[in-house]
Structure 1
Amino acid sequence: MKGTVPHIAVIGAGIGGLAAALRLAHGGARVTVLERHGSAGGKMRTLPTAAGPVDAGPTVLTLKTVFEDLFRDTGSALSDHVTLHRESVLARHFWPDGTRLDLVADQAESTENVARVFGSGAAAEFTAFCAHTRTLFDAFDGPMMRSAAPSQGTLAARMLRQPDLLHRMEPRRSLAESLAHRFTEPKLRQLFGRYATYVGGIPPTAPALLSLIWQAEAQGVWSVEGGMYALARAIEARAAELGARFHYGTHVSRIRVRDGRADAIVTDDATVDADAVLFNGDPRALHAGYLGDDVRRAVARKGVEPRSLSAMVHSFAAEASGLPLAAHNVLFCADPDLEFGPLSRGEVPSDASLYICAQDRFGGQTPTGTERFEIITNAPAVPDAATLTEKERQQWHATIMARLRRFGLMLSPGPAPETLTLPQNFAALFPASGGALYGRSPQGMMAAFHRPTVRSRIKGLYLTGGGVHPGAGVPMATRSAAHAAEAIMTDLSST
């Protein structure tokens, strides 16, 4: 160690880097965070509109206890820094034939809604599915999601204590196959298959185990006053209060390795010595040599390939009419095969489901006049050097707007093509990602064991973020930060 107080250099101020910086600063370390963009948040982006800033990434909070733990463990309280509101409507779902279904925070009410729309048999299947996914979530929360480095041995031990768990996991089935077994109603299969896309997968190739993602939402959805970006700013402010220093607009070109240990980061202007380096970016950037040849071996290829889904994201403000929107809405395509077939081949589907966040409708509000929207369409990742033509942007913008009109949603003024962020844009924003927003694809039963853990293959170099175990999503990236901070402080103490 280079002094009595260890110095930790954090590359990237996404949610993982922010949460780890907060924990490390609270633990007594000297923390320096370097971020190539102009502000904190990473994929928790916000963009300006005529109605104010709109979220252009994650839109709501799930697994709230993860964030309560973060602030409590660092001497504060989540409620001291952000204001949350629990949403009664989890999501409103629309189909082209006019079918509409609300899933809500109260499971009994959701069951009644399913029965009213699809019949008592479908309601019974929904109830059974909720119980099934709750069992899976409870079983895997500890040995997988809360573990810094899950092992097949730990999982096997859990199965010995709970012999029916292997059967419940359905290891030979994809998520699509599992849902076909559990629901006779095709629309419900389509609805719950969509949860695979939350972590960048598609139902035909994602493991059946991913059905447990439904429970993360079923246990509660919270909106953040000021948008999700307000949460990123709150974590940043608390870390700075404890002494962490943030440098924006700073490009890190290399991680220096000496005697087999990462001991410094090199920027365009300086070399910053460190007792440990924490990388909060897509681990594929290390493997691809974006941070220098010395750290290429930090992660294995199978930890970063194949790539997850990307997205096409509209962020804008407009007046809306013609469709009774909630805050969270899903407009399903008529045939999921027409969406997931092309996606599995790396093609953008001509017909795909749309997720619409009407940010000003949180809390059951019905705004008048201009309001803020984020619309997300699934798309495949692209090559790192993929270019984008204005013709392509206008083409996909027109396609998405036409889908909205088919559902009866009218927007005035209609958003311009410039409000659309495409996979090529994400590839440029997040180096070596290929626009994949969730890191490695979750396809295959063993995907969870291939994802990199917080300790890389190089001493002194640690990882955090959605590309690292326990996986994609704001809560999981925040958990990875807790694992990383603990690993760093433990290893430095033993040194």
Structure 2
Amino acid sequence: MRIAVVGAGVGGLAAAIELAHGGHAVTVLEQADAPGGKCARIARGGFRWDAGPSLLTLPQVFRALFAATGPPLDDEVELLRVEPVTRYRFADGTSVELSADLPRALEALEAWSPGAGADWARFLETCAAIWRAAEGVLVTSPWRPQDPRNALRIRPWWTLRDLARARARDPRLRMVIERFATYAGADPRRAPAALAVAGYVEHAFGAWHPRGGLHELVAAMARRLEALGGELRLHTRVERIVMRDGQVRGVDIAAAGALAADAVVTDVDEGAVPWLLGKPGPAQAPPERSLSGLALMLGLRGRTPALAHHTIIFPADYDAEFDDVFAHRRPVRDPTVYVCAPGVTDASGAPTGDEAWFVLVNAPAIGGGADWAAAAAALADRLGVRERVAELVVRTPADLERETGALGGAIYGAAPHGRLRGLLRPGRRVRGAHGLWLAGGTVHPGGGLPLVVLGGRAVAREIGSAA
């Protein structure tokens, strides 16, 4: 079959690789000047930053994709272990480092807060049960028959905050656990407890950094696609999916006319698919959007002593952050600050003796007039490195929407609030549109590099090999 893939994000590329390996004629259409979607790269003044995901978990998912379609991933990309996984700093001046090495993590936690190690071990045990129950749903479909006991194991009656309070006595450790809701763009007070697995995997199975940055995975996927005979067209904007009698017939490309196709896979925000089909938006109010982000990419002169690869700096009032984002829809006044300094593990992203930081704070999906310039300046001041800044790139929710097509800049599409929303995202098909398939982080099984690869591969499996 002739298959068009709309968008060269990681999910779209995964589907395209599988489909090309299966003998289909695959063309990937990407409006930007490089593949990757949200997994983008920015370079300036000798500095280089990953502008989206900043660590890799479950590398076996990528290894399986490459092993199934050609030479192994390790022939293409060198993966470096990140240890400790994250340093957490709190408003009271204390800090703790968590490792994927469980004995090391428990020792650090007990030294920081007696009893916290035991609480963390209990939390990981709970997450392990949730992970085993959810894994089949994530890999296949939430609507396929599952072991009914799994419904109990994921604790649908609990929010992530409920889980944190049930497993951790120290309020600071509860914040660490609640932070995992943001990995899916959610408020921990309303997110299902099952979202704990988003953060659990990095502490249970390890965190990784590809030498050269996360975008090296994208480059390797693009090479694999082309080695299999697939075509990647950049600077190519799809304006419409062509349908006739309920069947996909191809796509219309801006300034280039029609491209015939027997099937189309979209790797775009699920909320934008009706527009591509020429349909009006839904009559009901659109679903609440997930978190967006305000990102600063800092090129800093000199090196910071005793820096961690990942640092999370919590505010004094964590609830106020989510009130600002979801209730007031304004830049967070006192946000949690995430700093990724990959030079701790891999110095290739900055000139010798310097370092590149990716800094991210939660932000609302756009919908009003926010002064993002002022918010960015305040964030830079708070970090205390202004005098060292050689390069500064700011990326707002509006930039994210313009560059990636994420509606409102929402990183994960609809907010996964509710008892099962973390596992029940929109499916891979559109009713009444035969031959149209959906991939990417806004549909099942959700966002994050491993999940979008699993989702893309699942689409390819359902389409099947060429006859």
Q: Would the aligned equivalents of 1:253 and 1:267 in 2 still touch at CA under 8 Å?
A: yes
Match of 2:294 among 296, 312, 333: 312
C-alpha separation in 2, matches of 1:133 and 1:62: 16
1:279 has 2:266 as partner? yes
Match of 2:342 among 344, 359, 380: 359
Cross-structure match for 1:3? none
Cross-structure match for 1:325? 307
Distance 1:449 1:227, change over 3 A: closer
Query: What does 1:173-184 align with in structure 2 at a 5 Å threshold?
Result: 173-184=158-169
Please state how far the C-alpha of 1:21 moved relative to its aligned partner.
Answer: 1.1
Please state how far the C-alpha of 1:341 moved relative to its aligned partner.
Answer: 1.9
Cross-structure match for 1:11? 6
Cross-structure match for 1:146? 139
Task: Give 3-state SS (helix, strand or coil) of 1:154's partner.
Answer: coil
Match of 2:181 among 168, 182, 196: 196
Cross-structure match for 1:266? 252
Q: Would the aligned equivalents of 2:238 and 2:252 in 1 still touch at CA under 8 Å?
A: yes
Equivalent AA in structure 2 for residue 150 of structure 1: P
C-alpha separation in 1, matches of 2:390 and 2:92: 26
Match of 2:409 among 435, 446, 467: 435
C-alpha separation in 2, matches of 1:453 and 1:217: 26
C-alpha separation in 1, matches of 2:26 and 2:300: 42
Q: Would the aligned equivalents of 2:292 and 2:410 in 1 still touch at CA under 8 Å?
A: yes
Equivalent AA in structure 1 for residue 298 of structure 2: F
CA offset digits 1:247-297 (Å, max 9, x no partner): 11111111110011111100121200001011110011113x2x1425x69
1:207 has 2:181 as partner? no
Extract unaligned runs of 5+ from structure 2: none
Match of 2:122 among 121, 125, 128: 128
Extract unaligned runs of 5+ from structure 1: 1-5
Distance 1:361 1:35, change over 3 A: same
Equivalent AA in structure 1 for residue 360 of structure 2: I
Q: Would the aligned equivalents of 2:248 and 2:436 in 1 still touch at CA under 8 Å?
A: yes
Equivalent AA in structure 2 for residue 422 of structure 1: T
Cross-structure match for 1:400? 379
C-alpha separation in 1, matches of 2:390 and 2:195: 34
Distance 1:124 1:81, change over 3 A: same
Distance 1:17 1:169, change over 3 A: closer
Q: Would the aligned equivalents of 2:338 and 2:359 in 1 still touch at CA under 8 Å?
A: yes
1:453 has 2:427 as partner? yes
Question: Number of aligned pairs?
Answer: 462
Please state how far the C-alpha of 1:327 moved relative to its aligned partner.
Answer: 0.7
Equivalent AA in structure 2 for residue 480 of structure 1: G
1:382 has 2:366 as partner? yes
Please state how far the C-alpha of 1:412 moved relative to its aligned partner.
Answer: 3.8
Equivalent AA in structure 1 for residue 82 of structure 2: E
Task: Give 3-state SS (helix, strand or coil) of 1:369's partner.
Answer: coil
Query: What does 1:26-105 align with in structure 2 at a 5 Å threshold?
Result: 26-105=21-100
Distance 1:321 1:185, change over 3 A: farther
Q: Mean Cα displacement is larger for which, 225-234 or 52-61? A: 52-61
1:187 has 2:172 as partner? yes
Cross-structure match for 2:221? 235
Task: Give 3-state SS (helix, strand or coil) of 1:314's partner.
Answer: strand
Task: Give 3-state SS (helix, strand or coil) of 1:86's partner.
Answer: strand
Please state how far the C-alpha of 1:140 moved relative to its aligned partner.
Answer: 1.2
CA offset digits 1:162-196 (Å, max 9, x no partner): 6xx61x43323221122122211010011111111
Equivalent AA in structure 1 for residue 320 of structure 2: L
Match of 1:25 among 20, 24, 39: 20
Task: Give 3-state SS (helix, strand or coil) of 2:434's partner.
Answer: coil
Distance 1:359 1:300, change over 3 A: farther
Q: Would the aligned equivalents of 1:201 and 1:443 in 2 still touch at CA under 8 Å?
A: yes
C-alpha separation in 1, matches of 2:177 and 2:346: 24
Distance 1:366 1:221, change over 3 A: same
Q: Mean Cα displacement is larger for which, 175-184 or 55-64? A: 175-184
Q: Mean Cα displacement is larger for which, 177-186 or 13-22? A: 177-186
Distance 1:283 1:366, change over 3 A: closer
C-alpha separation in 1, matches of 2:6 and 2:304: 46
TM-score normalised to structure 1 length: 0.88
1:216 has 2:238 as partner? no
CA offset digits 1:282-341 (Å, max 9, x no partner): 011113x2x1425x69x9979x72211000011121036677321111111112112122
Q: Mean Cα displacement is larger for which, 168-177 or 105-114? A: 168-177
CA offset digits 1:211-249 (Å, max 9, x no partner): 222321121111101101110010001110110111111
Equivalent AA in structure 1 for residue 249 of structure 2: D
Distance 1:366 1:78, change over 3 A: closer
Task: Give 3-state SS (helix, strand or coil) of 2:362's partner.
Answer: strand
Equivalent AA in structure 2 for residue 215 of structure 1: Y
Equivalent AA in structure 2 for residue 355 of structure 1: Y
Distance 1:278 1:95, change over 3 A: same
Q: Mean Cα displacement is larger for which, 15-24 or 44-53? A: 44-53
C-alpha separation in 1, matches of 2:390 and 2:415: 31
C-alpha separation in 1, matches of 2:20 and 2:395: 35
Please state how far the C-alpha of 1:431 moved relative to its aligned partner.
Answer: 2.7
TM-score normalised to structure 2 length: 0.93
Please state how far the C-alpha of 1:398 moved relative to its aligned partner.
Answer: 2.0
Identity of aligned residues (%): 33
Please state how far the C-alpha of 1:448 moved relative to its aligned partner.
Answer: 4.1
Q: Would the aligned equivalents of 1:92 and 1:325 in 2 still touch at CA under 8 Å?
A: no
Equivalent AA in structure 2 for residue 146 of structure 1: V
Q: Mean Cα displacement is larger for which, 332-341 or 367-376? A: 367-376
CA offset digits 1:392-416 (Å, max 9, x no partner): 23311122123323xxxx3543366
Distance 1:88 1:20, change over 3 A: same
CA RMSD of aligned residues (A): 2.4
Task: Give 3-state SS (helix, strand or coil) of 1:420's partner.
Answer: strand
C-alpha separation in 2, matches of 1:456 and 1:225: 38
Cross-structure match for 2:105? 110
Cross-structure match for 1:158? 148
